[in-house]
Every structure is written in structure tokens, then in C-alpha cells.
Amino acid sequence: MRYLRLYRAFGSNSLARAMEFRAQFVMGIFVYGVWSVVSLLFINAVLGSVPAVRGWSRSQMWVLYGSSVLLESLCWGLLGPNMARFAASVRDGTLDLALTKPVAVQFWVSTRLVDINGVFNAISGAILIAVGLRDSHLAPSPGQWLCWLELMTCALGIAYAIWFASVTVCVWAVKLEAIAVLFEPMMQLARFPVGLYPRGWAWWLTWALPIAFLTTFPAQALLGRIESKYLWISPLLAIVLIALGNRFFRFALRSYSSASS
């Protein structure tokens, strides 16, 4: 409960900062909306002249893309500012402050900042999902929605573990701030089902780089096409990756040289 109260305080502070620059806040939402529309136009251009591509119709692709937009929005809104700031905190010594706090260091550096614009863009993802389901003439049952929610929660955990592990490298390579943007290509891959990629890529995009767990499987849950085994593999994978990421971060901190030292 202490961590929940602390995270609520982080969110309140971030909202207050965003409201100090309201024009920038509104413009940020507009830019996110334009970005989503452009991506939808691309999907329509690809699937506009064919009924389906490898078993995915246009409306089903909208469900998947909506899940992708929602996940990306949460990632960039809840995690993005902290991942982008991590390298600078190592370089300028701000990480020293986190080490003195009576909370878990990883929690502090991962949740301190929130991009409200990014979080609000999740609404457009939810709208895309609703439109895709309507055009597919599907009405998911409460159980399917619960499966989707479970898989999306696990997807957020998996994305966080991979992203945080990548920026942790900055403890050794302080000037490698650009490593935070490596997450963007991974999310771009997740905008399409793994079955659309060349044959032989599916295994790698499922188990080596778990792209399929980010959006393909959640979308399949809503479409009634999910294999039941992924309902327990997904949370297990998220837990394992987060635990490994935490160990890696603790190991990296052993090499951290305080700015005051």
C-alpha cells in the first residue's frame, strides 16, 4: 500500500506539471492521434484490396493494432520518461538520490515520472479495438475480456523487463543514452501479427524476442483464437523476465560509481 500511495503521488505531480503547459498537453494528444491515423491508413492500404492476409482480416488487424496502440501508450506514458532519463541520472548523479530513498531503487527509477499525454492516447487504442470488434461482428464474452486483460498486463510486464534491462547497460556505458530508443523498433514489430512475417520468423518473434506475447496473443484472446497454453505461459514469462531484470539491475549497481565519490 505504501508503494501504491507513492505511485499515486508520482502521478499527481506529473499531472500538475502537465497542466502548467496546457497548450503543449493538448498538442501532444493531437500528435498522438495523427500518428494513430497514419498507421491505420497504412493498414487499410495493405489490406484494402484483399479479404485477409494469412488469416487476418482488416477488422481483425484493427483489434490487434488497437491493442498495440494501447500497450505502446501505457509503455511510453508510464515507463518512457523514466527509461529516457535513466542514463542521465547515472551521468549527473541523480541516481545517488534514488539510492538514499527508503524504497526499492528499481521502483523509484522506473516510476518517478509519468507522461500524461502518452497515457491518454490509450483511449484511441480502446476505440480501435471496439471498431475492429464491431466490424468483425464479434462480442467477446466476459471470460475473453478477462483473458485479454491478463495477457495485456503480462505484455506490459514483459515490455518493461526488456526495456529496463536494456537501459541498465548505461551503468557501464554512461553516454549510451540512445539505447532507450531500442524499444521503439520492438514495438513497431508488435504492430502486426507474427504470422505476417516471413516463414521461420515466428519462432524467433515468439520465444527469442517475445513480440507475439505483446500484441498477437492478446488480440487472439478477443478474437477467440488464443491457445489456452499461452494463458499460463504469458504470466510465467513476465515473472521470469522481471525477476531476471531485477537481478541484472542489482548486479549493475555493484559497478555504479557515485557522482560524489
What is the chain's mean pLDDT, rounded?
Answer: 85
Q: Which of 113, 130, 140 is nearest to 14 (CA)?
A: 113
pLDDT over 90 percentage in the chain: 37
Average pLDDT over residues 95-108: 88
Contact 151, 70 (CB under 8 A): no
Task: Give the pLDDT confidence of 142-200 residue by residue, as tens digits.
Answer: 999 999 999 999 999 999 999 999 999 888 887 776 677 778 888 888 888 888 888 77
Distance of CA 193 to the CA centre of its chain: 16
Domain limits, the chain: 2-253
Residue 246's pLDDT is 95
Give the pLDDT score at 48.
62
CA 176, CA 10: separation in Å to the nearest integer?
Answer: 26
* pLDDT score recorded for residue 85: 87
Question: Residue 208, class by beta-carbon neighbours within 10 Å (0-12 exposed, 13-18 middle, 19+ buried)?
Answer: exposed
- Rounded to an integer, what distance in angstroms lies between the CA atom of residue 189 and that of residue 253? 31
pLDDT of residue 162: 93
- List residues bridging with 52 in a β-sheet: 57
The model's pLDDT over 205-258, given as tens digits with 9 standing for 90+, comes to 999 889 999 999 999 999 999 999 999 999 999 999 999 999 999 999 988 876
pLDDT at 39: 65
CA gap 117, 162 in Å, rounded: 23
% of the chain surpassing 70 pLDDT:
86
Biggest alpha carbon–alpha carbon distance for the chain: 64
Helix or strand run (H / E) with residue 27: helix 22-47
Q: What's the pTM value of the predicted model, to 2 decimals?
A: 0.88
* DSSP string of 46-60, one letter each residue: HHTTSSEETTEEHHH
CA gap 230, 213 in Å, rounded: 8
**Sorting pLDDT into bands at 50, 70 and 90, what band is 57?**
confident
The sign one gets for the Cα dihedral 74, 80, 82, 83 is positive
Confidence of residue 42 (pLDDT cuts 50, 70, 90): low
**d(C-alpha 176, C-alpha 17), whole Å:** 28
